[in-house]
Chain A
């Protein structure tokens, strides 16, 4: 059996246990498995690919540092997403100029429904509308709509009550329905 197939056969729990003992190779395998998800979570939160990659790496480094304290009661993915969300929020605080919320809102409302929106342009409009949400609501929306986490998993990941998850999600969706009304009418 090749070393690569042997690696893929290792269960996540085994990898976590080995990484907790300081095995960098096992941690590297965990990074490989969760890289895409973490980068996407951070990207949805930040809106910049370069920033997302940096922040995703930062999230994995933070995960490595605190891995001995991780207890596999909740899935490793949720734990890393939690760290990634916080790293993204920190990155956003440092780079507030990344998104000008007022400009985005105006841009979204100026366009009439008659405007023809190409797929790419519409995708970009959606991305900007999501970025214009308050970070707390955006985090909940990203984990639900893009990562498919359940309310309970989101609550555990962000350490907030389920009721707060629901209210933030409702708020985010209502805001998006307003700001993306022209796009929704085209659909």
Chain B
């Protein structure tokens, strides 16, 4: 005979078992007198519990509903701006996702255009449109206007800055945007969790 299924009898009695476990318990019960007796005891207890009287409600349904109605406090009507704010808060993840997708698209297009320009597809006339060249020119203009003389170290720094740091402008901006969107999303999740917890506590637990 297989091992007793005492641990599963309550779940079997409550109709909570499915599949293999259910078949296992049924097969065992067909052969095991001990487990059958245990199951019968559970069934007897359930039958006995039903003998406990139900509540003798004195108040009629209409009167009960009316009494509840009289005791209902006035629920403050949410102003329109709060409803708008609430809707905005609920749509925030979609907005963040949209912003991230937009950023990705912009970086992709910029990458394709830059690649094409670097390959010389646009000719010399458009070479100045390359982002690094533009930044270098712009920073050099700034330094010349402010009459700042640059030594070698300054020129290296200028080159670093004009290239957007060691990773380049494109990658740096990409990283910053992803981190900012990620942080905003985490903040939204945290506030969602806090609100849910608050509501759960209010309704009892």
Contact = CB atoms under 8 A, between A and B. Distances in A.
B42 A183 contact: no
Interface string A68-111: 11000000000100110111000000000000000000000000
B65 to A, nearest CB: 5
29 contacts: A22-B75, A28-B68, A32-B65, A43-B54, A49-B57, A50-B58, A53-B59, A56-B64, A64-B75, A68-B75, A69-B202, A69-B203, A83-B204, A86-B204, A119-B51, A120-B53, A126-B48, A127-B52, A127-B53, A144-B14, A146-B49, A159-B200, A159-B204, A173-B45, A176-B49, A177-B45, A180-B45, A184-B44, A187-B48
B166 to A, nearest CB: 48
Interface string B148-169: 0000000000000000000000
Max chain A CB contacts within 10 Å: which of B11, B45, B77, B199?
B45
A123 B205 contact: no
The range of chain A's interface size is 35 or more
B14 to A, nearest CB: 7
A61 B49 contact: no
B64 A79 contact: no
A137 interface: no
B34 to A, nearest CB: 16
B69 interface: yes
B45 A166 contact: no
Contacts of B67: 57
Given A44-B52, A65-B75, A126-B52, 14 more contacts: A24-B72, A31-B64, A31-B68, A35-B57, A52-B55, A53-B59, A82-B203, A123-B51, A126-B48, A130-B52, A166-B11, A169-B10, A187-B44, A187-B48
Interface of B: 10-11, 14-16, 41-42, 44-59, 61, 64-65, 67-69, 71-73, 75, 77-78, 199-200, 202-205
A162 to B, nearest CB: 9
A187 to B, nearest CB: 5
A166 B67 CA distance: 37
A10 interface: no
Interface in A167-187: 169-170, 173, 176-177, 180, 183-184, 187
B48 to A, nearest CB: 6
A49 B56 contact: yes
Contacts of A50: 58
B85 to A, nearest CB: 14
